[in-house]
Amino acid sequence: MAKNRRVFVCSDCGTHHPRWEGRCNGCGSWASVAEAPVEVAVSKTGSTATATDLPALEDFGLSGCLPVPIGFDEVDSVLGGGLVPGSVTLLSGEPGIGKSTLSLQIAMHAAAPGASVVLVTGEEAPAQVAARGVRTGEIPRSLSVLDNTSVSEVIATLTEAKPQLVVIDSIQTLRCDDVDSAAGSVTQLRSAAAQLVNMAKALNVTVLIIGHVTKDGTLAGPRVLEHLVDTVLSFEGDRMNSLRYLRVAKHRYGSTTDVGVFEMTGQGLVSIRDPSDLFLVDRHPGAPGSVVVPTIEGRRPLLVELQSLVNQSHGMGAHISTQGVPTARVKQAMALLSRYLDVEFVSTEVFVSAAGGAKVNEPGGDLALALSLLSSIRNVSLPANLVACAEVGLAGELRSVPHMERRLQEAHRMGFHLVIVPESAPEPPMGLRLVRARSLFGAVEEIQALSA
């Protein structure tokens, strides 16, 4: 038995309303709310099935969840081995960051002989996609292109073709003919994604969907797709810089802790095996304001150089400019130096940067940040082979941070001999000397003793 009830839905933001409204109270749009029929199933008879008629969970085993390698090592490793057949992955990122390049390279790797891969391109003409493909490598014969934006037609073609992998570039360009709103609206996105998920499960086709995010990081149409898909990948970076990070925001088949690091080049995205090397390559060891910190990206330790430049200015307050480091952390480091070491930042210009386009926004960078500011304002160099790693609490105390052992190993591997850490830090690898300190003040005293 089914009972119809009336539901009104905004075609712009998807908000449900119990009655018709002239203006949507979800997004404020006028005349966007319309009735949508909803079938509510109400069983009057009840089911006669018992628990023993249902399939046992253990009979399903693991076979449906094993990843198949794409052949693009950096992406496979982020995904925990590859893409699971029949799974749906959303690759999101800001406009121009390199989503089409990454997904094309994934498609080209996956289109090994015997496999069939389809690229649905609603955004670019096939010739444009081919030009990018030629720039990045040899386009395999088994990679086909489908230049169509109608979801029903795309699904009909894919049902015939039954490829192993489908790449949709992008979900914002698809339109469902039965949905009465513009392509890219929330209702369109949700409907298109739901139909693609159903197709993936029914045909056991792996689907990679590209979605644009807006500047504030939300998938255009407030993250409506994330709960529908199995995996959400986020492709990030600074467009002024060639480094790109592939992060897993959600993964139904594996961990979300690994990060892929790439460089955008004329030949497409190239995996960076040793990011620490890249960040430190042109460093001037011993320059005032320069301190190296072993950060953690996902599970991967990365050595990054923090640089500060503190100059006198004619203004009254402190002017702060940062790159790759949150301004709030810089302000906190300045406040700690002011309180516990009597450092005066009035009438100064403070510039802080994580060199090479890296990002340090975790507490493990606190001590290095404070030492870097202090080194610059006092124009005193720190020991060239020194690495600093600790969170600094508001009482000026040094606190341990996660994955300390991995960070110390990376510092050792990159040839550093001296690490300043909180008292609770684990024993270091052979050849690495730890200087333990209880507080920011204590850390500065220890460094002064080393330099004396």
Ligand X SMILES: Nc1ncnc2c1ncn2[C@@H]1O[C@H](COP(=O)(O)OP(=O)(O)OP(=O)(O)O)[C@@H](O)[C@H]1O
- Binding stretches for ligand X (CB under 6 A): 93, 95-101, 123, 212, 239, 264-266
Q: Which is nearer to Mg ion, 81 or 126 (CB)?
A: 126
Nearer to Mg ion, 11 or 100 (CB): 100
CB 298 within 8 A of CB 376: no
Nearer Cβ to ligand X, position 200 or 269?
269
Task: Choose the one of ligand X, Mg ion, none that binds residue 266, judging by a C-beta under 5 to 8 angstroms depending on kind.
Answer: ligand X
**Are the beta carbons of 204 and 197 closer than 8 angstroms?**
no
Contacting residues for 422 by C-beta, under 8 A, at least 6 apart: 390, 391, 398, 399, 400, 436, 437, 438
Min separation Cβ 210 and Mg ion, Å: 7
**CB 172, CB 191: distance < 8 Å:** no
CB of 421 to Mg ion, least distance (A): 44
Measured from the CB atom, the residue of 131 and 395 that comes closer to ligand X is: 131
Q: How far is the CB of 124 from Mg ion (least distance, A)?
A: 7
Which listed option, Mg ion, ligand X, none, makes contact with residue 133 (CB within 5 to 8 Å by class)?
none
CB of 171 to Mg ion, least distance (A): 12
Pick from 165, 179, 63: which is nearest to 116 by CA? 165
By beta-carbon proximity to ligand X, the closer residue of 99 and 359 is 99
Q: How far is the CB of 212 from ligand X (least distance, A)?
A: 6
Contact positions vs Mg ion (CB under 5 A): 100
- Quick one: what does residue 422 bind among ligand X, Mg ion, none, with the CB cut-off 5 to 8 Å set by partner type? none
What is the smallest separation between the CB atom of 102 and Mg ion, expressed in angstroms?
Answer: 9
Please state the length of the chain.
Answer: 452
Q: Are 215 and 94 in contact (CB under 8 A)?
A: yes
Nearer to Mg ion, 210 or 350 (CB): 210
Q: Residue 399 contacts by C-beta under 8 Å, 6 or more apart in sequence?
A: 363, 390, 391, 392, 393, 422
Residue 431 touches which member of Mg ion, ligand X, none, C-beta under 5-8 Å by kind: none
Q: How far is the CB of 295 from ligand X (least distance, A)?
A: 24
204 binds, among ligand X, Mg ion, none (CB under 5 to 8 A by kind): none
Handedness of CA 269, 272, 275, 280 (dihedral sign): negative
The two most distant CA atoms of the chain are separated, in Å, by 88
Taking a C-beta distance cutoff of 8 angstroms, is the pair 12, 29 a contact? yes
Q: Which is nearer to Mg ion, 99 or 329 (CB)?
A: 99
Residue 98 binding partner per list ligand X, Mg ion, none, with a CB distance cut-off of 5 to 8 Å that depends on partner kind: ligand X
Sheet holding 88-93, edge to edge: 143-146, 117-121, 165-169, 206-212, 88-93, 231-237, 243-251, 259-265, 268-271
